[in-house]
């Protein structure tokens, strides 16, 4: 593929990210995207087959670009995803759970004030999942969910039903993501001074304590 061809494809992706972030898939138009990218509308069929193919690749590119921005900012820890760089399978499960929660809170809170189109498109996908999200789940989310499930297996009784263990996992994820999805609402409910105290360390420690207490109570009830 020539450099000119590569440039045209990249311009299409960047224009598509902006268009779909602002208007969504249904209301975003190929004509506007091509106009912004300064390419013929036939380029969409040439590179991506159709609008749906373009959208799926735009979501992937937004996801990749967002993590690249963390690397460019020198934040390699967050760029690595939800698996803490220092995660050691041989470490106590409590230590691993605390590290996982901290990493997820850091990733969630790092996006609170991001208003770029990459983040907006990913946020749309989180609230209105499409086929593009299925690809992201398989490539990025599932490996992290499996790691969390592995940690919880060590913490919970051996006979814990799979669905119960998964519910604990969803609780961990839900509490961490709350500080991303409800960030603007939280800012309306509490003072700026109080909100500034909700650092990654404070929030992650709180979630770890809540989850640990729930796990401990569950283990006690199971043994009783």
pTM beyond 0.85 = no
* Residue 155 domain boundaries: 80-224
Res 2: pLDDT = 46
| Domain CATH number, residue 36 | 1.10.10.60
Retrieve residue 98's tokens.
């605390």
Q: Model confidence at 1, in pLDDT bands (50, 70, 90)? A: very low
Res 129: pLDDT = 83
Continuous H helices in the chain: 3-27, 30-37, 42-48, 51-72, 76-79, 93-110, 117-127, 131-136, 142-155, 162-181, 183-189, 192-196, 200-223
Residues 161-196 have pLDDT tens digits of 999 999 999 999 999 988 877 888 998 999 999 999
Cα separation, 82 vs 67, whole angstroms: 12
Cβ 165 vs Cβ 222: under 8 Å: no
Percent of the chain having pLDDT more than 70?
87
What mean pLDDT comes out for the span 137-143? 81
- Which phi and psi angles does 196 have, rounded to 5°? -65, -20
Domain count, the chain: 2
Q: Are residues 1 and 96 in the same domain?
A: no
Res 71: pLDDT = 61
């Amino acid at each position: 593929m020539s450099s000119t061809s590569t440039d045209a494809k990249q311009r299409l992706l960047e224009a598509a990210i902006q268009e779909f972030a602002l208007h969504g898939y249904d209301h975003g138009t190929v004509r506007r995207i091509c106009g912004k990218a300064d390419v013929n509308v036939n380029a969409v069929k040439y590179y991506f087959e159709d609008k749906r193919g373009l959208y799926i690749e735009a979501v992937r590119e937004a996801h990749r670009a967002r993590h690249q921005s963390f690397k460019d900012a020198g934040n390699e820890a967050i760029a690595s995803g939800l698996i803490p760089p220092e995660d050691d399978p041989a470490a106590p499960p409590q230590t691993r759970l605390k590290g996982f929660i901290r990493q997820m809170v850091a990733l969630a809170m790092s996006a609170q004030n991001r208003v770029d189109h990459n983040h907006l498109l990913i946020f749309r996908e989180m609230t209105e999942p499409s086929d593009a999200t299925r690809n992201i789940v398989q490539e990025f989310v599932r490996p992290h969910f499996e790691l969390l499930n592995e940690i919880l297996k060590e913490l919970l009784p051996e006979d814990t039903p799979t669905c119960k263990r998964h519910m604990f996992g969803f609780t961990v994820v839900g509490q961490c993501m709350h500080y991303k999805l409800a960030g603007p609402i939280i800012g309306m409910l509490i003072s700026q001074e109080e909100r500034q105290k909700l650092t990654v360390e404070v929030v992650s420690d709180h979630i770890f304590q809540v989850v640990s207490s729930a796990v401990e109570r569950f283990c006690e009830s199971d043994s009783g």
